[in-house]
Amino acid sequence: MKLTEKIHYVGVNDRDKVRFEGLWPLTQGMAYNSYIVKGEKTALIDTVDNRYFPLFISKIKNVIGNGKIDYLVINHMEPDHSGSLGLLRSLYPDIRLVGNKKTLQMAEGFYLQSGETLTVAEGSELDLGGPRLKFFLTPMVHWPETMMTYELESQTLFSGDAFGCYGALNGGVTDEEIDIEPYFPEMIRYYANIVGKYGAQVQMAMKKLSETNIERICSTHGPVWTNAISRVLDIYNRLSLYEGETGACLIYGTMYGNTTAMAESVAEGLVSGGMKHFVMHKLGRTDESYLLADVFRYKGLLLGAPTYNNGIYPLMERLLTDMEHRSLKNRLVGVFGSFSWASQAVKRLQDFASLPGMKLVGQPVEMKQGFSKEIAEQCRELGRQMAQQLSAEDGEA
């Protein structure tokens, strides 16, 4: 598919994989995007998962025929993008690998590829005879070798995994020709699952790009962005600053339904406090991928769980650990929990709420054994206080 006179899309769709990285559900598949830039010389920007190499190479030949590929630019070494490297080099033995020092070390380490290479650094340029490529190093977005490639003539940014999302591409490639609305929730989920830990590094990358005019963003996953560039950049800026929308995410775990009763009362309190925008998730019913997406989406976070084996309910512990690993901050946190004879759950939740960047809202609610009217009212009050605090902070923004 031709994006400009000199840039062609040669990516593929994966509609078979069930979980990305073996972890994250792919309900709508995944796109592995690759691009050809043609001048007097030809550069291929990234490759695809090697399972799709036959289709990939047929697309390449549709563009270049029996011509050669002079350069392979590697923006990111994860195997879903570099996996076809060895097969590609078997067909084009003179191809020159283009990457930074860490990239080329990884290429040799993963694939024993140590032939012709071109090492680039921050601001390096490569003239293809017409198109000119400029390189920006963006380490830890989200691997240490990641970089972005900018084609100066068309003002096209090949951004690697940045600005990408889950979802195969249905028939078209650019945001001008397909319905892009389903991709934005998947962009938030992708960011929360894959990139979320590296907010500071994403901010550094965006500052590098801030004075660069971008007419087109060609990510390695998801649509090619043209009309929606400002919206995409705004989403990434907000997520990397850990800025949540006004609203709440209520997540709870339960074994026998007692903590569910507490969660329902907290939800009643949110509504009576004037909060309409919130979501509820029961641990074990909703995949963690979606939990993290909503945690990143909303500013308010309400967490509830029972004590389990002198600790906290294991699925809640896993979620807490994943949020901690992603350096989550700028959240208002309310906590509640239950126990039968030894209280531990609320203590663990309070420890999470005391982390830097977190603000505890209201009085933690702890229930011993059975649910009661008094506990129900305490839970409703917790919900009301969260709603009021969110409303107050929204008014101050």
Give the pLDDT of residue 396.
65
**Angle, helices 199-209/229-240, rounded to nearest 10 degrees:** 140
Res 393: pLDDT: 86
Q: In the 8-state DSSP scheme, what is residue 174?
A: B
Beta strand spans in 76-229 (E): 96-99, 117-119, 125-127, 132-137, 147-151, 156-160, 216-219
Peptide bond into 142 cis (omega under 30): yes
- Asked if the model's pLDDT at residue 113 lies above 70, the reply is no
pLDDT of residue 350: 97
Residue range 147-156, pLDDT digits in tens: 999 999 999 9
CA distance linking residue 35 with residue 69, whole number of Å = 12
First vs last C-alpha separation in the chain: 44
pLDDT band at residue 24, thresholds of 50, 70 and 90? very high
Same domain? 311 vs 233: no
Residue 23: burial class (beta carbons within 10 Å; 0-12, 13-18, 19+): exposed
Structural domain contains residue 2 = no
Give Cα 235 distance to the centre of its chain: 11
Query: Which element (helix H / strand E) includes 167?
Result: none
User: Do 292 and 144 fall within a single domain?
Assistant: no
Tally the residues of the chain.
397
Question: Do 258 and 186 fall within a single domain?
Answer: no
Q: Are both 195 and 324 inside the same structural domain? A: no
H helix or E strand, kind and range, residue 209? helix 199-209
Q: Which residue, of 215, 240, 265, is where some domain finishes?
A: 240
- What single string gives the DSSP state of each residue in 17-50? -SEETTTEE-TT-EEE--EEEESSSEEEE----G
Confidence tier at 395 by pLDDT (50, 70, 90): confident
- Do 80 and 205 lie in a common domain? yes
Is 276's pLDDT higher than 80? yes
Task: Examine the pLDDT at 248 and tell me if it is beyond 60.
Answer: yes
Q: Which two tokens stand for residue 95?
A: 């191809």
What is the per-residue pLDDT for 127? 98
d(CA 216, CA 173): 12
> Could you tell me how many helices (H) and strands (E) the chain has, helices first?
12, 22
- Asked if 198 and 281 sit in the same domain, the reply is no
User: Is residue 311 situated within a structural domain?
Assistant: yes
Q: Could you tell me if residue 86 is inside a domain?
A: yes
| Domain identity same for 67 and 83 | yes
Does one domain contain both 254 and 114?
A: no
User: Distances in Å between the alpha carbon of 355 and those of 174, 312, 348, 350, 352?
Assistant: 41, 17, 11, 9, 6
When comparing pLDDT for 370 and 64, which is higher? 64
Identify whether residues 191 and 251 lie together within a single domain.
no
Of 196, 215, 240, the position where a domain reaches its end is 240
Taking alpha carbons only, the member of 51, 44, 64, 66 closest to residue 12 is 51
Among 183, 212, 240, give the residue marking a domain's end.
240
Same domain, 256 and 231: no
The answer to the question of residue 1 being in a domain is no
pLDDT of the residue at 110: 86
- Judge whether 303 lies within some domain: yes
pLDDT tens per residue across span 156-212: 999 999 999 999 999 999 999 999 999 999 999 999 999 999 999 999 999 999 999
Spatial separation of the C-alpha atoms in residues 179 and 223, rounded to whole Å: 10
C-alpha distances in angstroms, 139 versus 107, 136, 325?
16, 10, 18
Q: Say if residue 348 is in the same domain as residue 201.
A: no
> What's the pLDDT tens digit per position in 85-105?
989 999 999 999 999 999 999
What CATH code is carried by the domain that includes residue 167? 3.60.15.10
Asked if 220 contacts 160 with a C-beta cutoff of 8 angstroms, the reply is: yes
User: Could you tell me what percentage of the chain is helix, strand and coil, using 3-state DSSP and rounding each to the nearest 5?
Assistant: 35, 25, 35
pLDDT digit string, tens, across residues 317-363: 999 999 999 999 999 999 999 998 989 999 999 999 999 999 999 99
Across residues 61-67, what is the average pLDDT?
95
- DSSP assigned state of 129: S
DSSP string spanning 223-289? PBBSTTHHHHHHHHHHHHTT--EEEEEEEE--SSSHHHHHHHHHHHHHHHTT---EEEEEBTTB-HH
Domain count for the chain, please give it. Answer: 2
Decide if 221 is inside a domain.
yes
In a domain, 327, yes or no: yes
Query: How would you class 180 by CB atoms within 10 Å of its CB: exposed for 0-12, middle for 13-18, buried for 19 or more?
Result: buried
Q: How much of the chain exceeds pLDDT 90, in percent?
A: 92
Q: Is the pLDDT of residue 230 over 60?
A: yes
β partners of residue 281: 251
Dmax over CA atoms of the chain, in Å, equals 78
Does 397 fall in a domain? no
Say which CATH number the domain at 265 has. 3.40.50.360
Q: What is the pLDDT of residue 199?
A: 95
- pLDDT value of position 114: 64
Q: Which domain holds residue 360?
A: 245-392
292 with 220, same domain: the answer is no
Which two tokens mark 117?
A: 């290479």
Whose CA is closest to 254, among 309, 310, 302, 316? 316
Question: 205-224 burial by CB neighbour count: b if 16+ within 10 A, else e?
Answer: bbeebeeeebebbbbbbbbb
- The yes-or-no verdict on residue 397 having pLDDT over 60 is no
- pLDDT single digits (tens) 251-266: 999 999 999 999 999 9
Distance, in Å, from the CA atom of 118 to the CA atom of 127, rounded to the nearest integer, reads: 13
